Chains A and B, each alone.
Chain A
Amino acid sequence: MSGVLVIAEQRRGELRPVSLELIGAAQALRGAGDTVAVAVLAPSPERLVDSLKLAGVDEIVAVKVAAAEFDPDTFEAAIGALIEARKPGVVLVAHSVDSFGCAAALAAKLNLGFATDVFKAERIDGELVATRGGYGQKVNVEVDFPGRATVLLAIRAGVFKPPEQPGAPRVTEFAAPATASRSTGRDFIELSSNDDVDMTAAEFILTIGRGIGEEANVAQFKELADAVGATLGCSRPIADAGWLPKSRQVGQSGKTASACKLYIAMGVSGAIQHLAGMKHVATIVAVNSDAGASIFGVAKYGVVGDIFEIAEELRRHF
């Protein structure tokens, strides 16, 4: 019982970038003589094999499945059969929406050690130790898995570096068991909106969060954003409340501030899902009345104070 099995994630025929990060994460967990195998599940897995030929990968396992896209029953049966056949010490999946739908079920059915949203994984005195956040990311929590032969870890995206060098792994095939799935995937739907803003192209974003309190206050920040030349964005609660269109939501389920160079977050606490959409920005300024807000953990500059007062004072300069 050894080795690391990585489950690559694909959607609509493309590997998701986090798949390569998992290969990076696997390197710290391989013991001497251990192998790293990467499994890719798709109707035509052979199409995705080449993009996984990277340094640190010993084997690519092409798993042909009937479902065109992620489906819990199909994926649990296929990954479950692969784990039982290979008996790896560690299985890595992404902490993603697809894995939310199957990882815990796999851990339950196969009796695996299990932790999610893991941002650090290491061996301490031979024992696997995973670190995740707790209490809204205000503490770090180290967990271990006494007595578990196989441990399944769901790894946070954007933490581990994908390998840069190419590799020459062997490619094998694995026959997934036939499964009668109890759900049927239909169409994908892109979020559309009448709002023509493109958050992914904006270089300067001013984002508002729960701290603005009520809908009537949105106008003040919209005016401020216009005055300073920023695109107005928001965190999830503002979009959920319908105060701004969903197309302005920055975060995991919304838009990524891909082109952004200056990001001013006002009244945003910094939930991990929000940080996923903006923590890469070179200059982040966080304005928040709570000095303990997680957003200060990724910001370059922090302003602890009343967002309304700061907004008013800032407006005078433009």
Chain B
Amino acid sequence: MKILITVKQVAALDEDFEIRADGRDVEEEFLIRDLNEWDDYSLEEAVKIKEASSDPVEVVVMSVAPGEADEALRKCLAKGADRAIRIWDDGLEGSDPMAIARVLAAAARSEAPDMLFAGVQSSDQSFAATGIATAAFLGWPHAAVVSSLDYAPGAKRAVFRRELEGGLLHEVEIQCPAVLTIQLGINTPRYASLRSIKQAAAKPIEVKTLADLGLSAGDAGESGSHSRIRRMYIPDKGRAQLIEGDAAAQAARLAEIIREFKGDAA
């Protein structure tokens, strides 16, 4: 049995940052990289299923990214993934989530897992698209925003709840293999032990190219993308009026705001 998890090394911005000279991204030196928060939960869900299963289950993580993402993949290995695959090719530069999904689908096809998990979205670009697009390219059943899951490895059906807006859940049964996008809070991701971090550092990361997956340059990069970044810019800061002073002065003004409100409310 095999569960495949697609992951992303996301980037947060330093407090001060600059837009790249071409105006289409942030200068790389201001990016702080880490494993996408959602992917931490989808990995944990797979590892939990593996641990609860009496049959052997292989947990494989996969990412479309250049070498710097090895750090995120090693984090997954330290948290219980058995294998890590990284797909990169210069032709992938400029890929949008749809182009990434096409590559993930090709790689998933060759892995032939029983189930595929993706995060609901990435914390940096927040498209909420890659997992479900991967399912479409695979032709697999799919569901988004799964907040609880009942699945035994190899089962032909899974039952889950998707988390809707406003505190509502919807229970659904789905045919497997399927692609499910996993929501925060579905479990409590574990911390990696020092020992497992050391072991992960020694594990190989399998690297594949477009050609290895039978894809051509036209499937990836800008030509394989369904959108193109035209311009990135820093929006005007909001209208918040800053309350200055030390903590005591700030709290005094805050107390005044509360009193004013209570006066109005009374």
A143 to B238, CA, bound (A): 23
Contact indicator B136/A105 (Cβ below 8 Å) = yes
- Which of A20-28, A48-56, A162-170, A306-314 lies at the binding interface? A306-314
Q: B207 contacts the other chain (Cβ, under 8 Å)?
A: no
The digit string for A246-287, where 1 denotes a CB below 8 A from any CB of B, is: 110100111110000110100000001000000000010111
Contact indicator B141/A183 (Cβ below 8 Å) = yes
Least CB distance from A145 to B in Å reads 6
Least CB distance from B183 to A in Å reads 8
Given A143-B227, A188-B170, A240-B184, A204–B254 Cβ distance below 8 Å? no
Q: B175 contacts the other chain (Cβ, under 8 Å)?
A: yes
A76 to B132, CA, bound (A): 12
Contact indicator B262/A191 (Cβ below 8 Å) = no
List chain A residues, Cβ under 8 A from B170. 69-70, 185-189
* Chain A residues numbered 181-209 whose CB sits less than 8 Å from any CB in chain B: 182-191, 203-204
Least CB distance from A64 to B in Å reads 21
With both beta carbons as reference points, the residue of chain B lying nearest to A129 in the complex is identified as B230
Contact indicator B262/A229 (Cβ below 8 Å) = yes
Q: B168 contacts the other chain (Cβ, under 8 Å)?
A: yes
Given A185-B170, A186-B171, A310-B254, A100–B133 Cβ distance below 8 Å? no
* Chain A residues numbered 66-105 whose CB sits less than 8 Å from any CB in chain B: 69-70, 72-73, 76, 95-98, 100-105
A313 to B178, CA, bound (A): 53
Q: B201 contacts the other chain (Cβ, under 8 Å)?
A: no
Contact indicator B173/A184 (Cβ below 8 Å) = yes
Given A182-B174, A310-B247, A314-B255, A102–B240 Cβ distance below 8 Å? no
Contact indicator A101/B125 (Cβ below 8 Å) = no
Contact indicator B185/A239 (Cβ below 8 Å) = yes
Q: A141 contacts the other chain (Cβ, under 8 Å)?
A: yes
Partner of B265, one of A72, A236, A261: A261
* Chain A residues numbered 133-149 whose CB sits less than 8 Å from any CB in chain B: 133-136, 138-146, 148
List chain A residues, Cβ under 8 A from B227. 113-115, 130, 143-145
Q: B163 contacts the other chain (Cβ, under 8 Å)?
A: yes
- Which of A36-44, A213-221, A289-297 lies at the binding interface? A289-297
Contact indicator B19/A253 (Cβ below 8 Å) = no
A267 to B261, CA, bound (A): 22
Contact indicator B126/A133 (Cβ below 8 Å) = yes
Q: B6 contacts the other chain (Cβ, under 8 Å)?
A: no
List chain A residues, Cβ under 8 A from B163. 97, 253
A284 to B145, CA, bound (A): 29
* Chain B residues numbered 71-116 whose CB sits less than 8 Å from any CB in chain A: 96-98, 101-102
* Chain B residues numbered 133-183 whose CB sits less than 8 Å from any CB in chain A: 133, 135-137, 141-145, 159, 161-175, 178, 181, 183
Contact indicator B175/A306 (Cβ below 8 Å) = no
Interface of B is mostly: mixed
A157 to B64, CA, bound (A): 30
Contact indicator B145/A100 (Cβ below 8 Å) = yes
With both beta carbons as reference points, the residue of chain A lying nearest to B160 in the complex is identified as A183
With both beta carbons as reference points, the residue of chain B lying nearest to A228 in the complex is identified as B258
Q: B48 contacts the other chain (Cβ, under 8 Å)?
A: no
* Chain B residues numbered 45-89 whose CB sits less than 8 Å from any CB in chain A: none
Q: A11 contacts the other chain (Cβ, under 8 Å)?
A: yes
Size range of the interface on B? 35 or more
Contact indicator A139/B234 (Cβ below 8 Å) = yes
A142 to B231, CA, bound (A): 5
Q: B209 contacts the other chain (Cβ, under 8 Å)?
A: no
Q: A31 contacts the other chain (Cβ, under 8 Å)?
A: no
Least CB distance from A226 to B in Å reads 13
Contact indicator B241/A301 (Cβ below 8 Å) = yes
Partner of B243, one of A105, A138, A292, A303: A303
With both beta carbons as reference points, the residue of chain A lying nearest to B239 in the complex is identified as A300
Contact indicator B98/A107 (Cβ below 8 Å) = yes
Q: B124 contacts the other chain (Cβ, under 8 Å)?
A: yes
Least CB distance from A240 to B in Å reads 4
Contact indicator A142/B230 (Cβ below 8 Å) = yes
The digit string for B179-216, where 1 denotes a CB below 8 A from any CB of A, is: 00101110010000000000000000000000000000
List chain A residues, Cβ under 8 A from B129. 103-104, 107, 114, 116
Contact indicator A184/B172 (Cβ below 8 Å) = yes
Contact indicator A303/B261 (Cβ below 8 Å) = no
* Chain A residues numbered 146-162 whose CB sits less than 8 Å from any CB in chain B: 146, 148
List chain B residues, Cβ under 8 A from A175. none
Partner of A255, one of B125, B167, B226, B262: B167
Q: A70-B170, A301-B257 provided; 9 other pairs, C-beta below 8 A?
A: A76-B136, A104-B128, A108-B101, A117-B128, A145-B226, A184-B174, A303-B250, A314-B254, A318-B255
Q: What are 26 sample pairs from A and B whose C-beta atoms fall under 8 A apart?
A: A104-B132, A105-B132, A105-B135, A133-B126, A135-B11, A135-B124, A144-B228, A182-B178, A183-B143, A183-B173, A184-B173, A185-B172, A189-B169, A204-B265, A236-B185, A241-B188, A262-B258, A264-B258, A287-B254, A301-B242, A304-B242, A305-B250, A310-B247, A312-B251, A317-B252, A317-B255
The 7 closest A-B pairs by CB, nearest first: A313-B251, A297-B238, A240-B185, A302-B240, A317-B255, A105-B136, A104-B129
